[in-house]
Amino acid sequence: MINPRVFFDIDIDGNRIGRIVFELFADQVPKTAENFRALCTGEKGLGKVSNMPLHYKGSIFHRIIKGFMCQGGDFTRRNGTGGESIYGATFPDESFARKHDTHGLLSMANRGPNTQSSQFFITTRPTPHLDGKHVVFGRVVSGYNIVEMMENEPVDDNDRPLHNVMIANCGELVLKLPPGTIIKDGKIKKVNDKSDDSDDSDDSDSTSSSSHKRKKRARSDESGSDSEEERKKRKKKHRKHSKKEDKKRKKKKESKRRDSSIEHKESKRRDSSVEHKERKDSLAGHSKKEEERRHQTSPDRRQPTERRSRPRLNYYDPNVEVKGRGRFKYRPLK
């Protein structure tokens, strides 16, 4: 597993001197590590015993012995007689597996067996005489020079610093993985490891998919300027495709408009033809009716082509009297 990391921002008489970062051994002493981590974040609120915030922020290092250790964590009385854990007033010793074999170790202060609360100390040299009595639960991973500056602060006869050495701020650090790495089985691994690929084959499809995406992102991050070129190419391709699509849409629209126009003209022509035919038929019907009407109003009137059929006059008819030799003829005298 990945152990949590926390930090202290240290002020001496109100002047910031720097930050100390600790790794907590949650894999070996989880209960003790969790107590310290929660007191750094202040997430537990008020203590049940002291009714004070369970938070190291604003507390001081009340005891410093050069060449030995720096002790703090009494946020209730600030003199080494107070303190409270997140589990109550005190909680039992967890494990003495870790030894006080180097400087920069975090260890729990106590008043005897199973009396751990919130007080701790940072060693400035190996202290083997404390093995089996105090629980080692962390170590300094950066900022040990700040511990040395604290160690060199002047103190009084009771080992209390003459200047106020305060934890001005504290909290938990969030782990940020470098590109191309993942956390698997509590360890940081590179995505392109063969062992990871074989392990990933046993995972579900969703895990495989997310792993593939991370790989692609990792490769993209590593390629640097190449990835920039790829992005430009993709953009260019996208623009080209968009232009093609626009042209297609435009052409389709024009074709549709053209077809619509032709259809409209054809429809108009058909309508005009039908209207003309109807008008023609109407006129023909009207003229026919007019002629019939004319015949009805003058039934005795003969057609212009008709000729009157009269009996031919016979000059030798005894009943006809003819005068002269001309063409003048007279009706018979009665």
Residues of the chain with pLDDT under 50: 195-201, 204, 334
Say what the pLDDT of residue 319 is. Answer: 59
The rounded distance, in Å, linking the Cα atoms of 162 and 156 is 6
Spacing of C-alpha 54 from chain mean position: 37
Residue 62 tokens, joined: 């009340």
Q: Which residues carry out catalysis?
A: 63, 68, 71, 110, 121, 130, 134
Q: Cβ contacts of residue 262 below 8 Å, gap of 6+? A: none
The rounded distance, in Å, linking the Cα atoms of 178 and 135 is 33
Residue 180 tokens, joined: 């191309």
Of the chain, the end-to-end C-alpha distance in Å amounts to: 160
Q: Cβ contacts of residue 96 below 8 Å, gap of 6+? A: 131, 132, 133, 135, 136
Cβ contact 34:88 at 8 Å:
no
Say what the pLDDT of residue 248 is. Answer: 85
Give residue for tokens 């610093």: 161
Residue 279 tokens, joined: 């008008």
Residue 243 tokens, joined: 């232009």
Q: How many CA atoms lie within 13 A of 111 on its CB side?
A: 10
Q: ∠ at Cα 139 (90, 59), nearest 5°? A: 50
Give the number of other Cβ atoms within 10 Å of residue 104's Cβ.
18
Give residue for tokens 């070996």: 28
Say what the pLDDT of residue 196 is. Answer: 45
The rounded distance, in Å, linking the Cα atoms of 241 and 235 is 10
Say what the pLDDT of residue 295 is. Answer: 63
Cβ contact 171:163 at 8 Å:
no
User: What single-letter amino acid sits at 134?
Assistant: H
Domains for the chain: give ranges and CATH numbers.
5-173 (2.40.100.10), 181-223 (no CATH)
Say what the pLDDT of residue 329 is. Answer: 53
